[in-house]
Amino acid sequence: MNNQDFSTTITVDQTPAEAFDAINSISSWWTENVEGASQKLNDEFEVRFWDVHYSRQKLIEVIPNQKVVWLVTDSRLSFVQNKNEWTGTSICFEIFTQNDKTHIRFTHVGLVPQYECYGDCSNAWTGYIQGSLRDLIATGKGKPEVKED
């Protein structure tokens, strides 16, 4: 059976260390609505997108300049029937070099087409990874969701 987890890859000219640092700066590329720590093994953080999305992540694998994996320990998605679809999934960033370029392979393990949120969530991830995260790594400025008032 072929892997159906959502995955996308970006390529940048910056170093693996710069990519690693950007990934861990969640408020600079994903959302400013983040609480907690996201730098080292066992750190935990929560993100909110208004009343649409809440999730809590724990860093379960951190290999500097190579890999970061978050386990989603809790989630509430208001726009799908199973509000906890993300709970138990993992979000993986693999960093590698090839042909003098740095590549970041993003995979949301468990986000599969059978999930009701797959279309909306994969589209959102594509924007954040291919747009905001890539911009943060390449230019130092991402496009995260802005802080809620």
Q: Which two tokens stand for residue 89?
A: 């999934």
Predicted confidence at residue 147, as pLDDT, reads 85
Helices (H), the chain: 16-24, 26-29, 118-126, 134-139
> Is residue 119 in some structural domain?
yes
Express each pLDDT in 96-125 by its tens digit: 999 999 999 999 999 999 999 999 999 999
Report the share of the chain in percent with pLDDT over 70.
97
Dihedral over alpha carbons 14, 8, 99, 96 (to 10 degrees): 70
Number of domains within the chain = 1
Nearest to 54 by CA among 73, 76, 29, 84: 76
Read off the pTM. Answer: 0.95
> Is residue 145 in some structural domain?
no
> Is residue 97 in some structural domain?
yes
Predicted confidence at residue 2, as pLDDT, reads 66
Q: Which two tokens stand for residue 128?
A: 């954040």
**Domain containing 80 — which CATH number?**
3.30.530.20
Domain that holds residue 115: 6-138
Express each pLDDT in 20-48 by its tens digit: 999 999 999 999 999 999 999 999 999 99
Average pLDDT over residues 69-97: 97
Half-sphere exposure of 2 (CA within 13 A, CB side): 4
Q: Which two tokens stand for residue 73?
A: 């320990």
State whether residue 45 is helix, strand or coil.
Answer: strand
